[in-house]
Amino acid sequence: MKDCKCTHGHNKEGTAVMHNQDHFDHKGAHRYSAAVITVSDKASRGEREDTSGPALSRILSEYGWDVIYKNIVSDDADRICMELTHCADKLGAALILTSGGTGFSPRDVTPEATMAVVERVVPGIPEAMRAASMKITPHGCLSRVVAGIRKKSLIVNLPGSEKAARENLLSVIRPIRHGVDMLLSDGSADCGAPTARIVAVCISERKGQQKRAVNEVSLVAEYGIEGDAHAGKWHRQVSLLGEESVAKLQERIDFKLKPGDFAENILTRGLTLYELPVGTRLLVGNALCEVTQIGKACHEDCAIRKAAGDCVMPREGIFVKVLKDGTAREGDSVRVVSKPMEEGLPG
């Protein structure tokens, strides 16, 4: 562990804003959460309005990130180090963006403060941002932004100007998402691994009933989804079904099928789930799961079977147990981490 050598006091500058405290607990700490730190002497003293921080927060929200923390600090290495370590070590933000302090002024020390706290450098992100900036202005080569990893957090510097900060972030926002996927899966999210997207996450309070869609679910190791009737110390903790399977049956009925109608917890798009062998490990959102069963017997009173004469869940639904805590919501990925015949399965 690389520890920052700066001497820190309590940060009394600016106003730190934290949202959705529930995202800071063990189960949700690393779920596509982000922190935005503006570094500016004048903004920290209230002498000018911070526009880059809010602009970056809007972009992150548009791309599906939860901005859990925002703050403005002065161009002071100790203050910056303290903010970065707080967001990484205490809040567990998956992505930490800084804006400002990356130029040639003697007070521009954000890159130096960042390098003092990161454990591994990620040079490709600054290289890509500088290359994108050079297409807009030759001054893009003067940027001193850096990026690196501390624990389970990716830290990325951005310029202080709102326009430049937006342009830089947009040039790398998609690869950053994949990089965080890899970081949160302990590096097991292979770039070429089969991937699906979550269409909906659903729960029910009782077994044998259709489930209802919710905004987000927490997956608990050796238990399942919090608040769902099927959670417990058994092998069928979470159920998944492909939207492609639902579409086969939708053609034969005259009413619209909704997420959860087959009692599935997670509806996906993009993977043929029922072809995955038992023992396959999946990253569902950021929770590590293992396939335990393909299909199951249908309930005798299954409303879908009565209406359509058939039900896809017994043939094409799959069940998993949760190995590592995490969260999942619409838009998150479902990624194949490893197959049972492959070596080096994550523990």
Q: Hey, what amino acid is at 181?
A: D
- The domain spanning residue 266 has which CATH number? 2.40.33.20
Residue 46 lies in a domain: yes
- pLDDT bracket for residue 303 (50, 70, 90): low
Number of domains composing the chain: 2
Query: Would 10 be classed as within a structural domain?
Result: no
pLDDT of amino acid 25: 33
Structural domain boundaries enclosing 111: 17-184
In a domain, residue 212? The reply is: yes
Q: Determine the average pLDDT of the residues in 227-248.
A: 92
Q: Do residue 240 and residue 169 come from a single domain?
A: no
Of 80, 240, 231, the residue nearest 160 (C-alpha): 80
- Of 291, 282, 279, the residue nearest 319 (C-alpha): 291
Residue 304 lies in a domain: yes
pLDDT-derived band at 17, boundaries 50, 70, 90: low
42, part of any domain:
yes
Q: For residue 36, what are its two tokens? A: 């935005």
pLDDT of residue 26: 32
Quick check: helix, strand or coil at residue 180? helix
* Position 245 pLDDT exceeds 60: yes
Instruction: Name the band, by pLDDT with cuts 50, 70 and 90, for residue 184.
Output: confident
In a shared domain, residues 248 and 316: yes
Of 106-115, 213-222, 278-287, 299-308, the poorest mean pLDDT is in 299-308
List helix spans (H) across the chain: 41-44, 52-62, 77-85, 110-117, 124-134, 162-184, 243-250, 303-308, 313-316
Q: pLDDT grade, residue 290 (50/70/90)?
A: very high
Categorize the per-residue pLDDT at 112 as very low, low, confident or very high, splitting at 50, 70 and 90.
Answer: very high
In the β-sheet with 326-329, what is the strand arrangement from edge to edge?
224-225, 216-220, 326-329
Pair 25, 171 in one domain: yes
Note whether 205 and 269 are same-domain residues.
yes
Same domain, 55 and 150: yes
Q: Is residue 9 part of a domain?
A: no
d(CA 262, CA 240): 10
**Domain at 136, CATH number:** 3.40.980.10
Cα–Cα distance for residue pair 133/107, rounded to 1 Å: 23
- Report which of 11, 9, 31, 10 is spatially closest to residue 20, judged by C-alpha positions: 31
Residue from 259, 160, 261 nearest 200 by CA: 259
